[in-house]
Amino acid sequence: MILIKKNNLMKKFYLKLLRYYERESNKSEDRIVLKFLTKENDRNQQKKYIEIGSGLGRFVKIVHHLFNYNIQAVEINKDLAEQTNNLKIHTLNINFLENHFDSNHFDIVHCSHVIEHIPYPDVIAFLDELIRITKPNGYIIIRSPLMSIEFYTSIDHIRPYPPKAILDYYSNPQQQRVGKYTVLPVKIKLRRSPLLVSGYSYNPMIRAINMFFKLSWCLFRFPFSKPDGYVIILRKQV
């Protein structure tokens, strides 16, 4: 009986620590985007903003609270789309590749942790759509993971697309296909998460060590990994 209670307490602590780590990880990455949006914000102009892959609505809700934007969202999961609609954020339950948005329509297009779920060549059609719907001199903000020991713990992760792959698609002629738009990188910020030991899912000791590393990273941002994600901000050229 005592052992069961102890195990339940450990499980609760473990889940609480995971939630804490997730919040800190989100805040660290959000800060880059929110700082940029604040810098570019014009209170005299209601900009058109769209969230591609709104998920649970966590980030788009923050944007809705902080900025006077005309906000829309796209989410392929019907249940999640209903959830963000309930937040009074107009959300279309569609596959973004089948959208009917006008060209040159949005001032800001934000796409967080979506492209790694898309295979080639669909991913370049997806990128082209992000840019097509953006106004000239508007911004496309993409967040995505790089390869790490946790990348394939999400069953629908296809492959990472580093910033250079995106930029080369629009500038390097020696490819199967070359993007027809011109984009200018405004900011590229690499993300460093906690240093982790591989094999943690199968070994309780390694799992405990990695949870300690995650807690240390939350408190001190150390020890950290090699870059395992990024935020890239692009400006659509006229």
**CATH code of the domain covering residue 133:** 3.40.50
Mean pLDDT of 134-156: 95
Residue 109: pLDDT above 90?
A: yes
- The secondary structure element, H or E, covering residue 27 is helix 2-40
- The secondary structure element, H or E, covering residue 137 is strand 134-145
pLDDT of residue 237: 95
- As a whole number of angstroms, the distance between CA 216 and CA 188 comes to 26
Contacts of 212 (CB under 8 A, 6+ apart): none
Query: Bridge partners of 235?
Result: 139, 184
In a domain, 50, yes or no: no
- As a whole number of angstroms, the distance between CA 95 and CA 15 comes to 32
- As a whole number of angstroms, the distance between CA 211 and CA 14 comes to 8
pLDDT tens across 47-78, in order? 999 999 999 999 999 999 999 999 999 999 99
Total-model pTM: 0.92
pLDDT of residue 202: 67
In a domain, 24, yes or no: yes
Residue 6: pLDDT above 70?
A: no
In a domain, 183, yes or no: yes
Percent of the chain residues topping a pLDDT of 90 = 76
CA dihedral 204, 208, 210, 216 (to 10 degrees): 180
pLDDT of residue 200: 54
In a domain, 14, yes or no: yes
In a domain, 72, yes or no: no
Q: What are phi and psi of 105, to 5 degrees?
A: -105, -40
- As a whole number of angstroms, the distance between CA 210 and CA 199 comes to 10
Residue 181: pLDDT above 90?
A: yes
- Alpha-helical (H) ranges within 100-222 are 122-132, 163-169, 204-220
Query: Bridge partners of 194?
Result: 224
pLDDT of residue 5: 52
Q: What are phi and psi of 88, to 5 degrees?
A: 65, 30
Range(s) of the domain holding residue 218 = 2-40+95-236
Tally of domains within the chain: 1
- As a whole number of angstroms, the distance between CA 49 and CA 63 comes to 9
In a domain, 54, yes or no: no
Instruction: Determine the distance from the C-alpha atom of residue 175 to the mean position of all C-alpha atoms in its chain, rounded to a whole number.
Output: 26
In a domain, 70, yes or no: no
Q: What's the token pair of residue 56?
A: 């649970």
In a domain, 83, yes or no: no
> Cα Rg for the chain, rounded, in angstroms?
20
pLDDT of residue 7: 60
Mean pLDDT of 117-125: 97
pLDDT of residue 149: 86
